[in-house]
């Protein structure tokens, strides 16, 4: 029978893991069987740089944490070696890195399951996430979409300045407004000449 101290430590670990799961937007379970120390170090570094927290955790502790967070459907994946990768604000990074590593790996390293926004997701969804552009690329695309109208507006303003400013653009408009009035007056001036001819 475990001592009281050991039980308290396990409770603390489950509480920390539960908090981690609750605040994360996405998480993946992997089997790291057969991975070399060198590959594991490289993988952890890549995940850390992407803001993904990666930890090897006992299946029993994960079972308890999943029960606390409503993710008990992931219990089916808790056999053999298990590590969990969670991200607080990037939906794509963990899937992209871990699925990419699993595809290249010739060992037993596999992605077993995962969740997104507190809901268990299928392997198809995980695969879809892994194929999406990274957060940086998505942000760059959004920024580009926002900048396009601003850039067009700036070019239009520059074109006005190149033509001599607002005054130069107003001059042709003013000339067009006065031209119809002059045309309208012309027939009135010709009328007396016609009468004189009769």
Buried/exposed 129-141: b ≥16 CB within 10 Å, e otherwise: bbeeeebeeeeee
Domain boundaries along the sequence of the chain = 4-131, 139-197
Q: Which CATH class is domain 4-131?
A: alpha beta
Question: For the segment 96-155, what is each residue's pLDDT rounded down to a tens digit?
Answer: 999 999 998 888 899 999 999 999 999 999 999 888 866 666 666 667 677 667 777 777
Q: Helices 123-131 & 93-104, crossing angle to 10 degrees?
A: 100
CB 98 within 8 A of CB 30: yes
Residue 83: beta bridge partners?
Answer: 30, 56
Q: Cα separations (Å) of 67 from 15, 21, 61, 197?
A: 11, 11, 10, 109
- Whole-model pTM: value is 0.65
């Amino acid at each position: 029978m475990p001592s009281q101290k050991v039980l308290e430590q396990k409770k603390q670990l489950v509480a920390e893991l539960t908090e981690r799961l609750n605040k994360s937007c996405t998480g993946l379970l992997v089997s790291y069987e057969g991975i070399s120390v060198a590959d594991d170090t490289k993988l952890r570094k890549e995940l850390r740089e992407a803001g993904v927290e990666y930890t090897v955790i006992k299946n029993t502790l994960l079972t308890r944490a999943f029960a606390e967070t409503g993710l008990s459907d992931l219990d089916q994946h808790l056999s053999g070696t298990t590590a969990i990768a969670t991200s607080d604000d990037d939906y794509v990074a963990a899937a992209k890195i871990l699925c990419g590593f699993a595809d290249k790996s010739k060992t037993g390293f596999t992605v077993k399951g995962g969740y997104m926004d507190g809901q268990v997701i299928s392997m198809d969804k995980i695969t879809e996430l892994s194929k999406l552009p990274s957060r940086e690329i998505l942000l760059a695309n959004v920024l580009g979409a926002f900048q396009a109208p601003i850039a067009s507006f700036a070019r239009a303003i520059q074109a006005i300045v190149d033509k001599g400013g607002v005054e130069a653009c107003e001059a042709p408009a003013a000339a067009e407004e006065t031209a119809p009035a002059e045309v309208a007056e012309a027939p009135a001036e010709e009328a007396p000449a016609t009468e004189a001819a009769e």
